[in-house]
Amino acid sequence: MSRSPSLPDRPRLDLDPDMSEAERLEALRQHFTRLVQVNDELDDRLDRAEARGDDLQGEVDELKRRNEALKTSSLYIATVEELTADGAVIKQHGNNQEVLTDVSSRLEDELDPGDRVAINDSFSVQTVLDDETDARAQAMEVDASPEVTYDDIGGIDDQVREVREAVEAPLVNAEQFRAVGVEPPSGVLLHGPPGTGKTMLAKAVANETDATFIKMAGSELVRKFIGEGARLVRDLFDLASEREPAVIFIDEIDAVAAKRTDSKTSGDAEVQRTMMQLLSEMDGFDERGEIRIIAATNRFDMLDEAILRPGRFDRLIEVPKPAVGGRERILDIHTDDMTVDDDVAFADLAEGLDGYSGADIAALCTEAGMFAIRDERTTVTRQDFEDARDKVEAGDEGAVTHDGFGAYQY
């Protein structure tokens, strides 16, 4: 920036006592003329300074506007790979594009290789993101020792057996599988209506095998920043490696693995990238140690066949709503800690609960208990169960998933 020239010297008036009147008058006139010149020059400078002030204010306004735009526009996620004298080498998540970008002096000291950053359309680093463990913690549920056991699950004994064979046996008898040369299934896909015990099953396997249970909802994987879904998938598998033996449970897998549609929105592309990352993690599964992967969906019909190929989710287990015997068992399980009157016959009750899922039956039992509590009784009666059933069935549609109520058709 050019420096402003120094101010003009203040004109001086030198009057000699020996001057004649005429000479004094002439000196005063010249002084006056210089004063007017200096004044004009200063006026001129003031005008220019004001114009420059206006220019600068314009620049400030423009920067403020751009700043606002940056704050409100979407940002992409990238990881800092290297810091060089020419700037930072960053790799954008999702498309893995590597870019060398300038780093503003504001962020220079904050940035380290490995940091996750948010970048704008011009790849300029806007902010350094929090530690990734935060993102992991938000998106994943990690339970070092879940408490659900196989005995807590009613009405789906065949499915429990199949899951044990496919998931538990390879974890417990890894050596034997290797010795015999049998490849255990890579991934198990549980499919069936909501509330039938799919999550319980995955938790019970983790419990029985002393494995860490790591749950991620498919909807979480697609709701994050662009590029974040694929990253979360990597994090998910990395975390499982750190914690092995581990059971990875991906709920609502249809959110990431739905059939391709014709629409080409960036959201779809993002979901595709997340699915590709998931598939590539599963394809590299052999090198992984004691990690088993279970996914679940209520929308089997929507799944992209790519995820069902051998080596991926190649063991499909349907988890249906319980039949009458199963419903009776689930009633037993969920009233285990309740004091139930002798007049309650679970076999009869179960007959009338056609179409109820395990979750519906659990809700029914709680509701029956609430009727007893409202009446200040300690024993739950047959009438309480009937009232509970009326309430559940008359209650908000959709809350009950049994036939004729929920929108779900399986």
Ligand X SMILES: Nc1ncnc2c1ncn2[C@@H]1O[C@H](COP(=O)(O)OP(=O)(O)OP(=O)(O)O)[C@@H](O)[C@H]1O
Minimum distance of ligand X from residue 164's CB (angstroms): 15
C-alpha closest to that of 135 among 71, 58, 221: 221
Establish whether 187 is an annotated binding residue. Answer: no
Task: Tell me: does residue 155 bind ligand X (CB under 6 A).
Answer: yes
Q: Compute how many residues bind ligand X; rule: CB under 6 A.
A: 19
220 binds ligand X (CB under 6 A): no
CA atoms of 106 and 102, how far apart (whole Å): 11
Site for ligand X in 293-312 (CB under 6 A): 296, 298
Of 156, 206, 246, 364, which one interacts with ligand X (CB under 6 A)? 156
> Which residue number, 94 or 326, has a Cβ lying nearer to ligand X?
326
Contacts of 222 (CB under 8 A, 6+ apart): 229, 255, 256, 267, 270, 271, 274
Q: Which of 171, 222, 359, 364 binds ligand X (CB under 6 A)?
A: 359
Measure the CA–CA gap between 191 and 194, rounded to whole angstroms: 9
Q: Is 146 in the site for ligand X (CB under 6 A)?
A: no
Inter-CA distances, 373 with 343, 364, 367, Å: 18, 14, 10
Please pick, from the candidates 162, 235, 251, 270, the single residue that binds ligand X as defined by CB under 6 A.
251
Q: Which of 194, 245, 320, 355 binds ligand X (CB under 6 A)?
A: 194
Is residue 196 annotated as involved in ligand binding?
yes
Angle of CA points 102, 107, 111, to nearest 5°: 90
Q: How far is the CB of 149 from ligand X (least distance, A)?
A: 11
Least gap, CB of 198 to ligand X (angstroms): 3
- The answer to whether the annotation marks 84 as part of a ligand binding site is no
Nearer to ligand X, 117 or 350 (CB): 350
| CA-to-CA dists, residue 173 to 112, 167, 180, 199, 209, angstroms | 43, 10, 11, 23, 11
Residues 207, 182 contacting (CB under 8 angstroms): no
Q: What would the x/- binding string for ligand X be over residues 361 to 380, using CB under 6 A? A: -x------------------
Helices 382-394, 358-374: axis angle to 10 degrees equals 120
CA atoms of 352 and 369, how far apart (whole Å):
19
Residues in contact with ligand X by the rule CB under 6 A: 153-156, 194-200, 251, 296, 298, 330, 333, 358-359, 362
